[in-house]
Amino acid sequence: MKIGIVCYPTYGGSGVVATELGLALAKEGHKIHFITYSQPSRFDFFNENLFYHEVSMSSYPLFQYPPYELALASKMVDVVLFEKLDLLHVHYAIPHASAAYMARQILQTKRYHIPIITTLHGTDITLVGKDPSYEPVVTFSINESDGITAVSENLKQDTYDHFDIKKDIRVIPNFIDFSRFSKQKKDHFKKAICPEDEKLLVHTSNFRKVKRVEDVVKVFYNVRKKMPAKLLLVGDGPERIRIENLCRELGTCEDIRFLGKLDAVEEVLSVSDLFIMPSEKESFGLAALEAMACEVPVLSSNTGGLPELNVHGYSGYLSNVGDVDQMTEYALQILQDDKLPTFKKNALDRAKQFELSNILPEYENFYNEIIDLTKSTVVSS
């Protein structure tokens, strides 16, 4: 197949899923055309089936807000026609689904019929999309997509609850590539961070409010009163300063390291004992899956799609959002020397359910279904 992939090429989860999916499809022999405003971060090697088309924006003094959606739709039209694409797969509804709708309408005037699949990732539905300033466009463009996928059952239900969606939504969860995410031997690294063999807790995120990083620090503060421990915070974002101040207030700075935006996050995960994801909302929790693949048990909130990933009492524990005392109790249970190896093994077992080779065919089958369905609709109309 010749597939156009549209996504945010940044560090966010939706961009990571879109890029990893494109790379895996290219390895399967499909021709993959990324249409984005900059090169996706993990797309840094040559593959004969991978192509990158940059959305270029011309500036004009009249535009206080440059119309990215129009430039993106125009680029989609150009690439679809020139490369003769079979399908456009857009990740994150805003503004990609409405730009794709516009591109499809333009292409129809040129007698070119291109099916569109929209994948809903989370905040496009749970936070941004339902804001009245976007809702009518989001509802319309989801309904106009030929195929819709969501990354968890919970996100599917949220979409039906918050928007008037008339179509079926297929659930295809996030996936993990074990060739990158698996436990590596990094004893020297562990020794440098935990010289006294302290337990190592870790959190990775984009430090937005929705991630509740303050709960990570509070849980760590409580755990450290009971056992020697260190905390690594990976990533960066708007909450970083507030979290640093909290560490100072609690007097925990000595035992907490802020590592910033690390590329090789799997190296840090490889030496960690517990991953904490206390999010307010989380449609799937890709970062937790990456941790589990590296044999790190997960202490998470029970919001959104997290219960579909983290199995309570098996791969980790789930708590109500903000229940720091309960989270602390669970963290201490997992970190017991006689229990930790079993939790680590279970985390890996659970991650295997989401192995790339299990999930990739789900996307390929869905692509074929939607292409066939669109062909039959075009023929009969």
Judged by CB under 6 A, which of 22, 115, 122, 297 binds ligand GMT? 122
Q: Could you tell me the smallest distance in angstroms from the CB atom of residue 151 to ligand GMT?
A: 4
Q: Is 50 in the site for ligand GMT (CB under 6 A)?
A: no
Residue 229: count of CB within 10 angstroms of its CB: 22
Q: Is 281 in the site for ligand GMT (CB under 6 A)?
A: yes
Q: Is 210 in the site for ligand GMT (CB under 6 A)?
A: yes
Q: Is 213 in the site for ligand GMT (CB under 6 A)?
A: no
Q: Is 128 in the site for ligand GMT (CB under 6 A)?
A: no
Helix/strand/coil for 164: coil
Lay out the site mask for ligand GMT across 222-261 (x = CB under 6 A, - = otherwise): ----------------------------------------
Residue 40 near residue 50, CB atoms below 8 Å: no
Tokens of 298: 């997960």
Q: Is 9 in the site for ligand GMT (CB under 6 A)?
A: no
The helix (H) or strand (E) run that includes residue 300 is strand 298-301
Q: Is 43 in the site for ligand GMT (CB under 6 A)?
A: no
β-bridge partners, 4: 33, 88
Q: Is 92 in the site for ligand GMT (CB under 6 A)?
A: yes
Q: Is 151 in the site for ligand GMT (CB under 6 A)?
A: yes
Q: Could you tell me the smallest distance in angstroms from the CB atom of residue 102 to ligand GMT?
A: 22
Exposure string for 196-206, b = 16+ CB within 10 A, e = fewer = eebbbbbbbbb
3-state secondary structure 73-128: HHHHHHHHHHHCCCEEEEECHHHHHHHHHHHHHHHHHCCCCCCEEEEECCHHHHCC
Q: Could you tell me the smallest distance in angstroms from the CB atom of residue 225 to ligand GMT?
A: 30
Tokens of 248: 């100072």
Q: Is 149 in the site for ligand GMT (CB under 6 A)?
A: no
Q: Could you tell me the smallest distance in angstroms from the CB atom of residue 201 to ligand GMT?
A: 19
Phi first, then psi: what are they for 335, rounded to 5°? -80, -5
Nearest CB to ligand GMT, comparing residues 99 and 194? 99
Residue 151 near residue 17, CB atoms below 8 Å: yes
In this chain, which stretch among 13-21, 75-83, 181-189, 342-350 interacts with ligand GMT, using CB under 6 A?
Answer: 13-21
Q: Is 12 in the site for ligand GMT (CB under 6 A)?
A: yes
Q: Could you tell me the smallest distance in angstroms from the CB atom of residue 125 to ligand GMT?
A: 8
Number of residues that bind ligand GMT (CB under 6 A): 19
Q: Is 174 in the site for ligand GMT (CB under 6 A)?
A: yes
> Rounded to whole angstroms, what are the CA distances from 308 to 21, 172, 173, 332, 351?
21, 12, 9, 23, 11
Handedness of CA 249, 250, 256, 261 (dihedral sign): negative
Residues that bind ligand GMT (CB under 6 A): 12-15, 17, 92, 121-123, 151, 174, 206, 210, 281-286
